[in-house]
């Protein structure tokens, strides 16, 4: 891995190798996007080649901004890189922090900017097979039930978002 991401080391924001940030559980910047059609969210199944949580279902997309890249620019870039989706309006919802074990001795400790992106069911995509193996639309209440019933099929951060932050992310659409 040669990706450098913004992470805090000794209280100072600095460039850190992405894998190192996850190995050491360093607090680092991230973005998460939920593409929505009413109360339905487009979720993705992560490609099997991902170095953590391969094959798990996650929100529409998430990643770490490059050094000096704004969160909104990062969200737009990643929607295009992972899913081939462009032209959506991003609605910033909140910045939250979480820490989660993602397996293999790796930890996500993220300060994440959350965005909603309104869309319609006829949205088209072009999946990058190195990043995403599948997508599907699911109603938020159904997703919340699925995550509770089968947590090992979903990324830890998606479970955290739905369990602890649903009201602030989804507002009146919240499944809670």
Q: Is 94 a catalytic residue?
A: no
Q: Is 17 a catalytic residue?
A: no
Residues in Cβ contact with 102 at an 8 Å cutoff, skipping those fewer than 6 apart: 22, 52, 53, 108, 155, 156
Give the span between the Cα atoms of 32 and 38, in whole angstroms: 18
Give the span between the Cα atoms of 45 and 41, in whole angstroms: 13
Active-site annotation holder among 61, 62, 74, 108: 62
Encoded tokens for 108: 């996500």
Give the span between the Cα atoms of 103 and 46, in whole angstroms: 14
Exposure of 55 in the CB half-sphere (CA atoms within 13 A):
4
Active-site annotation holder among 74, 82, 108, 110: 110
Question: What is the set of active-site residues?
Answer: 62, 110
């Amino acid at each position: 891995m040669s990706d450098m991401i913004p992470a805090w080391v000794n209280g100072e924001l600095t460039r850190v190798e992405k894998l190192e940030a996850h190995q050491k559980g360093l607090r680092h910047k991230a973005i998460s996007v939920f593409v929505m059609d009413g109360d339905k969210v487009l979720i993705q199944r992560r490609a099997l080649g991902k170095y953590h949580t391969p094959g798990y279902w996650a929100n529409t997309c998430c990643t770490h901004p490059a050094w000096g890249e704004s969160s909104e620019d990062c969200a737009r870039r990643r929607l295009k890189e992972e899913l081939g989706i462009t032209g959506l309006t991003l609605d910033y919802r909140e910045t939250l922090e979480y820490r989660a074990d993602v397996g293999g001795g790796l930890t996500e400790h993220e300060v994440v900017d959350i965005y909603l992106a309104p869309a319609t069911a006829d949205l088209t995509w072009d999946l990058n097979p190195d990043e995403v193996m599948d997508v599907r639309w699911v109603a938020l209440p159904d997703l919340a039930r699925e995550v509770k019933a089968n947590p090992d099929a979903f990324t830890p951060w998606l479970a955290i978002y739905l369990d602890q932050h649903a009201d602030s992310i989804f507002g009146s659409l919240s499944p809670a």
